[in-house]
Structure 1
Amino acid sequence: MFSKAKKDSEINLEQHELLEHAQVRIKQKKRLYAHFIIFLVGSVFLVLINKILKYGDTYNWFIWAITFWAFLFIMHLINVFVTQKFMGVDWERSQREKLVKKQKLRISELQKEIETDFPISQINKKKED
């Protein structure tokens, strides 16, 4: 009976984690799409400032500004669609499991070291004396 309840709680926890991950991904994609729209509107605005308002008319500075902004947008795109695939929920889970395993190994090594340095039989003999 307890094992069924435990399994149900694990399933609910996993579903909750999946839902949270989906919500995070939706926010990331929404921000990326908003960035793209702002990039398009901003690029047109920069061209208009340079060409129509004649601000810095002797030099086409808007090309450098748009190129730099495009680079930032591409970095954002890579972060959302490439990096998150490789370093997503499964990667986080495996990293967490590795760290827990290392900690457990270190704890067991420390326990062995303590047991060899301070055997329980010596402690019990000192208590009896």
Structure 2
Amino acid sequence: MFSKSKKTERIDSEQREQYEYARKRIKQKKNLMRHFIFFLLGSIFLLVVDLVLKKGADILFPNWSVWVVLIWAFILLIHVFNVFVMSKFMGKEWEDRQLEKLKAKQAERINKLQKKVDDELPLPKKKEVQDPMKPLTEKKDNNPLPPDVQ
């Protein structure tokens, strides 16, 4: 109970990254399932309102609910495509490759800017740099006041 060696599980960065990716995928699939359930319930409701209760045809057009359900089904298919197909092509590996490309471009841009700065404003030679150990008071006259005040 009071031992000095505590056994704590540490998650290394790779395991943490895999965990975050898995959590993200689960959330995507959960949202897709929620969208599908809302689609089913909403479609049934809209079809009942239009076809059974005959509401909305005088304001909109006949069989308006069929068109709404078809458009919603198309949106649901886009969501399915995004979760299952696009995650394969544009998944974690694709993100990592894009990140590495962007980091390489940024490093190249920084190197170009550094070279431009070095060319335009070169650093002074060692002889030109004042010795920091040399006191500043080693002037011809040790008067701290400016010349016009004297």
* Superposed pair shares fold, TM > 0.5: yes
Q: TM-score range by the shorter chain?
A: 0.7 to 0.9
Structure 1 gaps of 5+ residues are 1-8
The offset of 1:95, in angstroms, is 1.1
Q: Which residue of 1 aligns with 2:93?
A: 90
Q: Which residue of 2 aligns with 1:99?
A: 102
Number of residues paired by the alignment?
119
Alpha-carbon displacement from aligned partner over 1:56-80 (angstroms, at most 9, x marks no partner): 3571111111011111111111111
Whose helix proportion is higher, 1 or 2? 1
Q: Which residue of 1 aligns with 2:143?
A: none
For 1:51 and 1:119, the matched residues in 2 are separated by 81
Q: Which residue of 2 aligns with 1:112?
A: 115
1:4-15 correspondence runs (5 A): 12-15=12-15
1:27-106 correspondence runs (5 A): 27-57=27-57, 59-106=62-109
Alpha-carbon displacement from aligned partner over 1:82-124 (angstroms, at most 9, x marks no partner): 222222111111111111111111222222233333444x443
For 2:52 and 2:116, the matched residues in 1 are separated by 77
For 1:32 and 1:12, the matched residues in 2 are separated by 30
Please provide the CA RMSD for this pair. 2.2
For 1:94 and 1:84, the matched residues in 2 are separated by 14
Q: Which residue of 1 aligns with 2:129?
A: 127
The offset of 1:41, in angstroms, is 1.4
Higher relative contact order (CA 8 A, sep 6+): 1
CA contact (8 A) 1:49 1:55 kept: yes
The offset of 1:53, in angstroms, is 1.4
TM-score normalized by structure 1?
0.80
TM-score normalized by structure 2?
0.70
Which has the higher Rg, Structure 1 or Structure 2?
A: 2
